Structures are given as structure tokens and as C-alpha cells.
Structure 1
Amino acid sequence: MAARQLILAGNQQRRRERSQTVFVNAFVRHHFSPLDVLSDRALQRKYRLPRSAIQHLIQLVVPQIRRATRCNYALSPEVQLLAALRFYAVGSFREVVGDGTGLSKALVLRSVAAVTPILLRHARQHIKMATTREDVRQVHQGFHAMAGIPRVLGLVDGTLIPLLNPSLVDPSWICRKHFPAVNTQVVDHDGLIVDIVARWPGSIHDSFVWANSAVGQKAGRGMFGRSIFLGDSGYPLRSDLITPVMNPASPAEEAFNEGHTHTRTHIERVFGRWKARFRCIHRSSGGLRLSPRKSCQVIVVTAMLHNIAVRAGADEPSAVDDEDHDNPPPPPLPNEPRAALHQAGLRARQEIINLF
């Protein structure tokens, strides 16, 4: 009996010693790197970014996405980033899988889910408005050179980013064009997206998105000084947000409307380039195949990548028609206490009209 107890005690001791030892039998899957194989032009065509920008993004994601794992054939951070960039560019999991990278649809989805939040943390560094006096002056001069409208700090417009989610049953996501979407507000300058709001369902009116955005509230409090924003007739007329004249009755008003339209079409071209560069947010891809929360994250990340591409001098994609651009009806006539704000907007607009 004593001998048997000694044998059991020895076995337990050996088991305890073995359990304290961890044998890492993992192999990190390093696929062939497109950065080493593809030319600069092919790399931009496939991932929409130049080589230097992709290498910079790899350095951003490696510290957060590299983790200690004992799983066999774990994906490297570079493979995960390139898979996410390819999905942003084409908007289809099947096409990423069909590229011959050896990734399954589930792995591509996991890569997008892992990379997107990491890139989102750096969005504020690339999506920001002019703050210094010199930068604001340059923005004013740039917009004034387009059509002669002074003190313009940005163009405001909304666009519908379609969703493809069979489990989405909330009717608030259905836009006025009868498909689920995210109503995304963008403020633009010189081809760059300097502010973006991607959080509201497609049924929400543009004027509500502007009133509840950080930029709209700052503008209402006069934090941008005498700078103004230009918006279409779907927005309310304010002293800081100038809309076109609904029924022009003089040559000056007609000239103002022409200048307003000419300047505002700049943001529509930005929508076309943005969606052509990243097809995942264009209706031709069928819609974002993610939950609404993750879809909003992808929208902001693609806006950040668009700015990176523009600043890096990447090749401009062939612009697509913004079929998802929403032109909501104008808001109702203002009532108290909004009538005072509307009257202030009328006076501010008339000051500009007098310059034409």
C-alpha cells in the first residue's frame, strides 16, 4: 500500500513539472509578400495606396496586431493588413479569396475585423480641419479662386453608404431610396475629407446630422469666426451655413447660385473618387457585408486612407457616379425660435450676393 502511494505521488510530481513547461509549437504563416513581387503601379491598382503608405500602415498595425499565440499557421500582421486593404478596395470577400493568397473567407473577415479598429485609432491624425490662421487663410483663398465666394472653410454634403445585412430589420436604416444605408456627412477641402460623421441610419435627414455633428455645433457657436460652410438646399440656411437661393430674382442672385453650384460640385467629385478608390462603400459592391457598427468604422477608415492616398500623390481612380448621393427635400420653413437663425442666414447670404 505504501509503495502504491509512493508511485502515485511520483506520477503527480511528474505531471506537475510537465504542466509548468510550455512548448510553443507555432508557425506564423508568412505568405509571399506582394510588396516584394508587385510593381508600384500594380500595387496601387490592387491596394489603392502607394508602397510607402502601405509600409507605414504596416508599422502602425504590427505592435497592436502581433500577439503571442500557440496556434499553428497564424497569420502575420502584414498578411492581415493587405487582406483588409484588398477588401476595402473591392468590397468582396470572394474576390480577396480568389486572389490566390490562400486565405479563406473567414480569415479575410477576421483580418478586416482586427485591422479596422487599429486603423480607426489613427483617423484623427489624417482627418482634421484647418486650425492655424495661415492654414485657414489658404483654405479661404483656395475656395475663393473657384467661384469668388469668400471665407469658405469647407463644403458640407451627405452621401448614402449602402449596407448588405440580412439580419438588419430596423426600418430606420432604410433610406428614402429604399435600401439600408448609413447617412454619412462629409466636410471637404481640396479633395481631402477634413471631417466625417458616419453613425446615423439612412432615414435621418442631412440637416439633423449637421445639427448634431461636432463641426455643426462649433459653427453654430461661432467657433470658426467669420468662416462659412456651403451646403445644398437640404440644409437650413444659417449665418455659418450658406445655401443657394431657391428662387433667384436678380442677376446677382443667379450669379451667386452659379458660383455656389460650381464650388459645391467639388465635394461631389470627391465622393466619386472616394468610392471609386474603395469600392466597398460603393453600391456596385452590393453594400458593406458587416454589422452597422463595423460598417461605420470601415467608412471612417476608408476616408482616412483616401486622405493618405491624396497626400501621397497616388494615382487618381476613374471617378464613378455617386448613385448613393442623397438629395433630400429642403427642410420646412423655420419656426420660432429658428426664425431668428434663418433671418441671420439671410443677411449673411445677402452680404455675399452683393459681391456678385
Structure 2
Amino acid sequence: MDSMGFYVKSRQKIVKKNRIELRNKASQIFDLPDSVFTQRFRLNKAAFKYVLRELKQKLPPIVRSSSVSAELKLAACLRFLANGGYQDGVGQDFNFGMAQSTISVVLSDVLAILEEQLCPKWITLAMTDEEKRDARVYFYRKCKIPGVIMCMDGIHIKIVKPNGESSHQFLNQKGFFSLNAIIICDHKQRIRYVDAKYPGSTQNAFVWSNSEAYLYFKELYENGDCCTRLLGYEGYPLSPWLITPFKDACAGTAESRFNESHSSALNVIKQTVGAWRNWCRCFLGTRQLHYSPKKAVQIINVAAALHNIRIHFKLHQDYDPDSLVEEEGPEDEVFNEEYQTEDPYFEEAIQLRNEFLSNF
């Protein structure tokens, strides 16, 4: 027993030493060629350094030489998002030299800090006057509907079956466990809003009508801004600030032509989600997040902020937003339930949409 115990302890020391040596080598990530760096981490070096500065503001100082550096913590987190792989795979990837338990702690720490530091700065419904003008011009050319500045869609993001008695609430109509997330984007495919806290069985219209984005646009309207609106699919309730298509429009009618233009403009949200999933492969339809719903929401929020950072650093065009259409599959489509809230503005919204028909 003594000899066996000695062997085990010696082996553990060797493994620990090797991991430290690997981490020291991996800390030289900035020596990678630019193209390889971007391919591995989905950020270029300038974007990586920006996020790293934000991360370091909240990370506790390193007190031991064997501690994992901030650079490697961020690199491991980004590789996890980019690969969509499991934690033990990330720990071995690029010679990070981290055990699965270490990766788990690193991800928890980094995601919490990035959510706090990045999301408020990079995910916002507020737009400058210039941004609004540009968006209105873009969408009017697409759909001939005045005042549109954003588009909305919902996606189901797969997760493993949660623990607890409420797990059945996450089982959606297609038979897999998910979060029902609202995504709002602008004309430049920036994610302006994301809300992924609701279980997969939740109706799409309920998610929207109980979101902060709904209140934001409603308050704009009630405060006199009647010319700012967004587009959404027919599964959401029509309102003066959310324009949805006509149901069962007959071919060749003004309603049908309206729907065609409406659909054309909404394509920007499909492209946004496609581009997002293209670099952040955690959200591919063929995979699922192996985390609690709360942790999965955190991953989604951070990934949305990083998506916008990629656009800011001109990385967005590096990936084809249409390349994942077939891989995502129909199981990720939003379920368009027939649902209409008791909205006092509903009749007003019908009249407004009918007025838009004069353009068709």
C-alpha cells in the first residue's frame, strides 16, 4: 500500500507539473499568426485584448505562479464558445493544460464577469438619431413600412434536461428541452436585445409581452414616439410598435405583397442568428448546452455581446451567415402559436397596418 500510495502521489505531481508547463507555453497565444488566432478564438488580437481588459477589471490578482492567467482563462472561454465542445475537450485544446474541474471554475468566473462588464455596454435598444435614420431608410427600402428600426425573432436553444420538478416546462413542442429566446437585431445585424430566461414550452407571444423590450417600445409609443417600430412574425401579437404579417393573405392582393416585403425585411434577423451560430457553435441545432438553465442564459448573453464586439472589430464578414441553414434544421424554428394579448392598442394597430397597404 505504501509503495502504491507513493506511486500515485508521484504521478499526481508529474501531471500537475506537466499542466503548469503546458499553461506556460499556452500563455504565448499572442505569438500565433493573426489568421490562426482569429480562427481559434473568433476574435482578432485587438478584440481579444479589449475583452481581456474588461475581464481583468474584475478578476482577482494572481497570487501563485501556478495560477491560470487571465489570458488563458479568456482563451479557454472563447474556445468553448467557438467549438461548442465539452469542458474536458477545451481543457486539452491548444495545450491549455487545465483539468475539467479547473475549466468548469474558469468558465463560471469568466462568464459572470463578462456578462456584468460587456452586456450593458454592447447590448442595448437605445439608438442614436443617426442610427435610427439609417435603420429607417434601410428597412423602408426593404419593406416600404415607415418607422421600422429593428427586427425580432425567437429561437429555441437546446439544453440538457434540467434537474428538479419543473424540468417538464423546458420540453418544447418539438420534443426536446430548450430555452425560448427572443432576439432583436438592427439593420447591421447587431443584437440589440436578447431574453432567454423562459422555458421552451412558453408561448412566444407570452415571452414577448412580458419582456423589457416590449415595455421599451410601448413606452416610446405612449410618450409620443409613434413612428418607431419593429417587425416580427405572425406568432407575436400585432401592436402599433410591432408590425406582423397578415394571416392567410390571398395571392395577388395588397396583403400578399405586404407579406412578401415584410418577409424580405425580416431576413436580416435570420442572417443575424445564422452568423451568430456560425461562430458560436454552442447554439447549433445539432448540439445542446450541458448546463443549468441559469448558466445557459449567461452563456447566451455573453455570446450576444461578443457577437456585437466582432462586428465592431470588423470580423462579422469572415463567416457566411447562410452556411448553417441546413445544419440548424427545422427543429430550431419558432413555433407560431395563435395568440393575441388583451392589448388596448390592437384595433389601432390593425388600422395602422391597413394604412400601410397603400404602398403595395
Shorter-chain TM-score range: 0.7 to 0.9
SS of structure 2 residue aligned to 1:98: helix
Question: CA RMSD of the aligned region, Å?
Answer: 2.1
Structure 2: gaps of 5 or more residues: 1-19
**Aligned equivalents of 1:283, 1:168: Cα separation in 2:** 24
Counterpart CA distance in 2 for 1:270 and 1:191 is: 5
Instruction: State how many pairs are aligned.
Output: 325
Q: Report the residue type matching 1:56 in the other structure.
A: Y
Question: 1:203 maps to which residue?
Answer: 201
| Secondary structure of 1:74's aligned partner | coil
CA distance in 2, matches of 1:298, 1:159: 15
Residue pair 2:76, 2:103 contacting (<8 A) in 1 also: yes
Residue 7 of structure 2 is matched in structure 1 by none
What SS class does the counterpart of residue 172 from structure 2 fall into?
coil
| 1:75 match: secondary structure | coil
Q: How does 1:123-272 map to 2 (within 5 A)?
A: 123-165=119-161, 167=163, 170-189=167-186, 190-221=188-219, 222=221, 223=223, 224-249=225-250, 251-272=253-274
Matched, 1:351 2:327: no
The 5-angstrom pairing of residues 38-187 of structure 1 reads 38-67=32-61, 69=63, 73-92=66-85, 93-99=87-93, 100-121=95-116, 122-165=118-161, 167=163, 170-187=167-184
* Gapped regions of structure 1 (runs ≥ 5): 1-26
Name which of 27, 30, 38 aligns with 1:36: 30
The residue number in structure 1 matching 2:16 is none
Counterpart contact for 1:88–1:302, Cα < 8 Å: yes
- Max radius of gyration: which structure? 1
Measure the CA separation in 1 of the matches of 2:163 and 2:202.
20
Alpha-carbon deviation of 1:33?
A: 3.1
SS of residue in 1 equivalent to 2:82? helix
2:334 is aligned to 327
Q: 1:130 touches 1:136 (CA, 8 Å); kept in 2?
A: no
CA distance in 2, matches of 1:201, 1:166: 10
* Secondary structure at 2:332 match in 1: coil
Whichever residue aligns with residue 258 of structure 1, its letter is E
Structure with more helix by fraction = 2
- Runs of 4+ in structure 1 off by over 4 angstroms are none
Letter in 1 for 2:35: R
Task: Report the alpha carbon displacement of residue 95 of structure 1 after superposing the two structures with TM.
Answer: 3.1
Structure 1 residues 287 and 34, CA, compared in 2 at 3 Å: closer, same or farther?
Answer: farther
Deviations for 1:322-349, whole angstroms, at most 9, x for unmatched residues?
A: 4353332332466xx54x4322121111
- Supply the AA of the counterpart residue of 2:197: R
Task: Give 3-state SS (helix, strand or coil) of 1:102's partner.
Answer: coil
Alpha-carbon distance in structure 2 between the residues aligned to 1:294 and 1:124 = 18
Aligned equivalents of 1:139 and 1:355: distance in 2?
Answer: 19
Matched AA of 1:182:
L
- Structure 2 residue 281 is matched with structure 1 residue 279: yes
Tell me the distance in 2 between the aligned counterparts of 1:269 and 1:239. Answer: 25
Instruction: State TM-score, norm by structure 2.
Output: 0.84
